[in-house]
Amino acid sequence: MKIAIIAEKPSVAREIAAIVGATDKKDGYLSGNNYYVTWALGHLVGLAMPEEYGISGFSKEHLPITPQSFKLIPRQIKTGKGYKADTGALKQLKVIESVFNKCDRIIVATDAGREGELIFRYIYNYIGCTKPFDRLWISSLTDKAIKEGLENLKDGSEYDRLYYAAQARSEADWLVGINATQALSIAAGRGIFSLGRVQTPTLSMVCFRYLEHINFVPTPYWELLLDTSSGPQEFSATTKERIPSRSIAKELFEKQRQQRTVIVQSVEKKEVSQEPPLLYDLTTLQKEANSKYSFSAEKTLSIAQKLYESKFITYPRTGSRYISDDIFNEIPELIAKLSKYNIFASYTGKMADINLNIRPVDNKKVTDHHALLITGNIPEKIGYDERKLYDMIAGRMLEAFSDKCIKDQTTVLLNCADVLYEAKGSVMKVAGWREVFNEKEEGKENNKNLPILTEGGELSVSRVQLLEKLTKAKPLHTEASLLAAMETAGKELSDEEQRSALKDCGIGTPATRASIIETLFSRDYMFREKKSLIPTEKGLAVYNAVKDKRIADVEMTGMWEQTFAKIERGDAEAENFKKGIEVYAGQITDELLNTELALPQKEVAFCPKCNKEAIFYPKVVKCSDAGCGLMLFTSLAGKTLPEDIIRVLLLGKQTPLVKGFKSKAGKFFDAALTLDEEYKIKFIFDNNSNKGNRSKKKQ
């Protein structure tokens, strides 16, 4: 029997081919031992655009567009005047069709998840294949995992419900995205304003937080800080309650500063156990990598995928933070492997003497894939960023199976002339899981050792201070906080169990959230300022236009994700969901056609190269014609160029003298700017400029 195997990427295909003995390299596939191993290149086939249904341009008369049956076409790429089929996709589709025609049966080895299933089924349906197929479902690319997977193949029909859910997601995104984008763009009267089933609620969360932040009015309050001591040990306490009035605060302060003693009213000491964190799923990994290293969600996913394909970690696109009993049996061996890994070698030795914590072990909470783990392959030479992420995953595995951290927490109430002060302290008794990275816990009371005090005891007052403070706005969203909000459909929850319970109704999936965020950047709806996410004027205009509309409803989008999960389980019918989405698409179309979009009125700038409209983005100015290629970065030699300077350059003129550029040597200089014959920015120095600072480098 001749068998075809289709993987999602060439690198994965090579790993599988080596196992089955397909070592003869061909154009687009490998063969040998009665196997043909080929690959997709991501989404080779997708849903056709409206033009394929005879609808061209944006017109009210055509909306809403609801095809009776969707057409599949090869992947499209953008050209100057529209879209055309990707020649690379067309070539590989012919290879796949040829391979399928040669075989008797197919093994599906695309990524084991919703999107991986969709990639295969769309290809299979597009080329009209009817050959039977089996499913390879693995969470690791180690030789052992691949061999075991091939020995335990499942009939492809067992994954039909997974495909129905993926297809429902794909068609829902098309119906909402196409109709909403066309409707709002028609209402605006100029430009194209992209909307989407997931991206628009996500944009709403960013904009809502931004407006809440900038419109926040701080409220002043006051506290008294009392310094005292017991024996040689000094410590401080603050008033237990905030003081809302300046006059009351001043009056209290004047009375308190006259006091010489303070009474210990109560001492509460308790032992607190902190459970170790659960293992990583993709979203938690992305959040923490953003917080620790400022990695974007997309960068974290890309690095994790590379580590997976290099056989160093298990499948990264997982939504579970738990493992099953059979995987737990492998954990001692994985921990032992880290005894030869420098930064964890000492700690892993200690783990040999403890009973492993079983909190992350729960068969019922493992979804398509278990939580992220390392494999038995320990990396030696990998990149700097890859090493950071691998260490996070390996360290989290050690933490998750370690003992609890045990601390003594002390709360002291002091009474000074009927004004109560509070002091808190925390001392670690058993480091437990916190010893893995030896990171100190944040919080002013943590690792603060208070003296031994007795209730009723009298202490001397060293000093009393009056502190004026202000309430703070919620911080702007970072990618970490946005991922958390997407995970819980916008509900801000600090409790891990509550967050876990809401995962099924989050926005997007662990595998798609990074691309959703990147879409908002590419649409010029928001930009990064250090770690913070800031909406652009365009993003705010879209938000203000749709914030009260159905398409911006975060919770509704979350409920759809819940429905996809039900379709996978067989608890809901995809056809019923599609009918509901068609009704919804009609409703949002009507809403958006009657929407006013308040766009900032700015003078149109033109490309000096081809005279088409120039588009201003947060960090770059580009020609609206992608074929032209003009691109001017708004940062040059350590300085951000004002918009009026950029507009002078676009007119083909020389700018006035611009001050404050910084050379590579760290010296500041001034220069005028102009565009050279290649439309690159160059410096123009006058006779008074410091010649030693002159730079010939062009943008």
Q: Catalytic positions, please?
A: 315
Strand partners, 374: 313
Are 47 and 170 within 8 A, CB to CB?
A: yes
Q: How far apart are CA 146 and CA 109, in angstroms?
A: 10
Q: How far apart are CA 204 and CA 420, in angstroms?
A: 43
Rounded to a whole number, what is the largest CA-CA distance in the chain? 96
Residue type, 90: L
Nearest to 302 by CA among 317, 288, 314, 284: 317
Q: How far apart are CA 79 and CA 420, in angstroms?
A: 71
CA distances from 260 to 228, 256, 413, 421 (A): 10, 9, 17, 15
Pairing of strands 658-662, 261-274: unpaired
Nearest to 552 by CA among 562, 542, 561: 542
E-assigned strand segments in 372-457: 405-416, 419-430
DSSP 680: -
What SS3 string covers 483-505? HHHHHCCCCCCCCHHHHHHCHHH
Nearest to 7 by CA among 147, 104, 100, 108: 108
Q: How far apart are CA 557 and CA 519, in angstroms?
A: 17
Q: Is the peptide bond before 64 cis (omega within 30 degrees of 0)?
A: yes
Give the long-range contacts of residues 301-308, CB within 8 A, separation 24 or more.
301/511, 301/514, 303/385, 303/386, 303/389, 304/372, 304/389, 306/386, 307/379, 307/382, 307/386, 307/389, 307/390, 307/393, 308/140, 308/141
Nearest to 658 by CA among 676, 633, 679, 640: 640
Nearest to 213 by CA among 491, 478, 476, 479: 476
Strand partners, 415: 263, 420
Half-sphere exposure in the Cβ direction for 46 (13 Å, CA): 19
Q: How far apart are CA 384 and CA 363, in angstroms?
A: 35
Q: How far apart are CA 411 and CA 601, in angstroms?
A: 58
Are 589 and 179 within 8 A, CB to CB?
A: yes
Are 16 and 7 within 8 A, CB to CB?
A: yes
H helices present in 383-454, as ranges: 384-400
